Amino acid sequence: MMPRTVLSRCARLTQQVPLESALSGKQSVQRGMSSLSVPPPACMLRPLEAPLRYLFGPGPSNVPPRVLAAGGRPIIGHMHSEMFGIMNEIKQGIQYAFQTNNSMTLAMSGSGHTAMECAVFNIVEPGESVLVAVNGIWGERVAEIAERMGAKVHTLAKAPGGHFTNAEIEQALAKHKPVLFFLTHGESSAGLVHPMDGIGDVCRKHNCLLLVDSVASLGAAPLLMDQQKIDILYTGSQKALNAPPGTAPISFNERACQKMFNRKTKPVSYLLDMNYLSNYWGNDGKPDRIYHHTGPVSGFFALRESLAILAETGLENSWRHHTEVAQHLWKGLEDLGLKLFIKDKDLRLPSVTTIAIPEGYNWKELLAYIMKHHQIEFTGGLGPSVGMVLRIGLMGYNCKKTNADKALAALEDGLKQCRKSKA
């Protein structure tokens, strides 16, 4: 290890010399001898600044100190045996969170979109038919991803906040004969949690795989991968799981593996090819793991810790807790005279609440006021729900009645102060 005095002297030198030249606007006297034409940017010579904020939007959510500390531990090599041990533990944590025994379970190096693309790219071959339920932004995204890779995309569409009956799904499956049906469990753009019962059976009847997005719902609303016959399930790290953004759990069951490992064409993405990823995660039964890509070591440490917190809390406790806090928030919002966007309580996503934009307000001004005066992030709609809703997310670590009260007080103040704004 470098002696302290040397370390601090180095730190002073690396910080001060360029900083002085940057501040004086002059380059160092050595410039004439330098081969560099681009000087160090002044912003890089200042310390990182990131404000402290209450992240009460749809995610990322504030990260608990324990998870931050795990992510801040010294890294090890991504191919070290200890790292493989940690990845094996992550797998077990995901199996618990998803309620699955699938051995083809892993975490993607990337956000929920990476898992979304991984699922579509590996399951579907160009020219195959895919059915996508679109009732918010996530269906729109999957339809576009499938279309880009050359699938024949059919959509089953509803306005944001709408949901699909099993009969509607079955009719569309019979008509389009897709190899894959996509449904969002927690549609964060609309604040809707989609009923899941029976959909897996309907898909099996029509020989179709069921892909479910649980980015906004995992850990907050009941979801049972194996029991509900979900063939492929993915989530993100940054919502109720409360890890930083950048890793995404995913799991494939036996039916999904049969399809994806017996395809005629290679998946369009090398990075997301499950032939390689299954080996990297030790899921393919081969004795050696071969280098494929460098996984986000710190992100995996943090994800492991967030999965550990979920395991300690217990899934059912976590679901119950999210519902109780959400109900407290919903009552408070109604007491403020606001209208919840999803009328049926049973269809409201406990992690992300949507509020119909109150009349007479400019929603952007309202959100900006709350951010400026209360350091709280709420957001507007997303994709098709832009201009329709405000969104408040209380998940994982942020899911507390005291935070719901803080959110309500900020909103009440915002509603008072921004009333006269032009809508």
Task: Measure the CA–CA gap between 356 and 338, rounded to whole angstroms.
Answer: 7
Least Å distance between CB 329 and ligand GLV? 17
Which CB, 97 or 208, lies closer to ligand GLV? 97
Residues counted in the chain? 423
Least Å distance between CB 161 and ligand GLV? 14
160 is a site residue for ligand GLV (CB under 6 A): no
Q: Is 391 annotated in some ligand binding site?
A: yes
Which CB, 202 or 394, lies closer to ligand GLV? 394
Least Å distance between CB 391 and ligand GLV? 7
Which CB, 106 or 248, lies closer to ligand GLV? 248
Q: Is the peptide bond before 245 cis (omega within 30 degrees of 0)?
A: no
- 409 is written with which tokens? 């007080």
Least Å distance between CB 307 and ligand GLV? 20
* Contact (Cβ atoms closer than 8 angstroms) between residue 202 and residue 150: no
Interaction mask 329-368, ligand GLV, x per CB under 6 A: ----------------------------------------
* Contact (Cβ atoms closer than 8 angstroms) between residue 239 and residue 215: yes
Which CB, 115 or 256, lies closer to ligand GLV? 115
Binders of ligand GLV among 95-154, rule CB under 6 A?
Answer: none
Residue closest to ligand GLV (Cβ): 188
Task: Measure the CA–CA gap between 348 and 330, rounded to whole angstroms.
Answer: 10
* Contact (Cβ atoms closer than 8 angstroms) between residue 99 and residue 127: no
Residue type, 73: R
Least Å distance between CB 58 and ligand GLV? 4
Least Å distance between CB 65 and ligand GLV? 24
Which CB, 310 or 352, lies closer to ligand GLV? 352
Q: Which long-range contacts (CB under 8 A, 24 or more apart) does 334-338 make?
A: 336/408, 336/411, 336/412, 336/415, 338/411
Give the CA diameter of the chain: 76
* Contact (Cβ atoms closer than 8 angstroms) between residue 399 and residue 325: yes
Least Å distance between CB 353 and ligand GLV? 12
Question: How many amino acids of this chain bind ligand GLV (CB under 6 A)?
Answer: 5
98 three-class SS: helix
The rounded Cα 103 to chain-centroid distance in angstroms is 22
Q: Looking at 108, 302, 382, 394, which residue binds ligand GLV (CB under 6 A)?
A: 382
Residue type, 312: E
Binders of ligand GLV among 177-196, rule CB under 6 A?
Answer: 188-189
Which CB, 102 or 189, lies closer to ligand GLV? 189
Which CB, 203 or 382, lies closer to ligand GLV? 382
Reported as type and span, the H/E element at residue 175 is helix 166-176
Burial of 31 (0-12, 13-18, 19+ CB in 10 A): exposed
Residue type, 38: V
Residues 6+ apart with CB under 8 A from 315: 96, 97, 99, 219
Residue type, 34: S
CA angle 123, 168, 385 (to 5 degrees): 80
Binders of ligand GLV among 213-272, rule CB under 6 A?
Answer: none
Binders of ligand GLV among 51-80, rule CB under 6 A?
Answer: 58-59
Q: How many CB atoms lie within 10 A of CB 343?
A: 10
Least Å distance between CB 189 and ligand GLV? 6
Which CB, 21 or 385, lies closer to ligand GLV? 385
Which CB, 95 or 379, lies closer to ligand GLV? 379
Least Å distance between CB 253 and ligand GLV? 25
CA dihedral of 392, 397, 400, 403, whole degrees rounded to 10: -50
Residues annotated within a binding site: 391
Residues annotated within a binding site for substrate: 391
Residues lying near ligand GLV in the complex (CB under 6 A) are found at 58-59, 188-189, 382
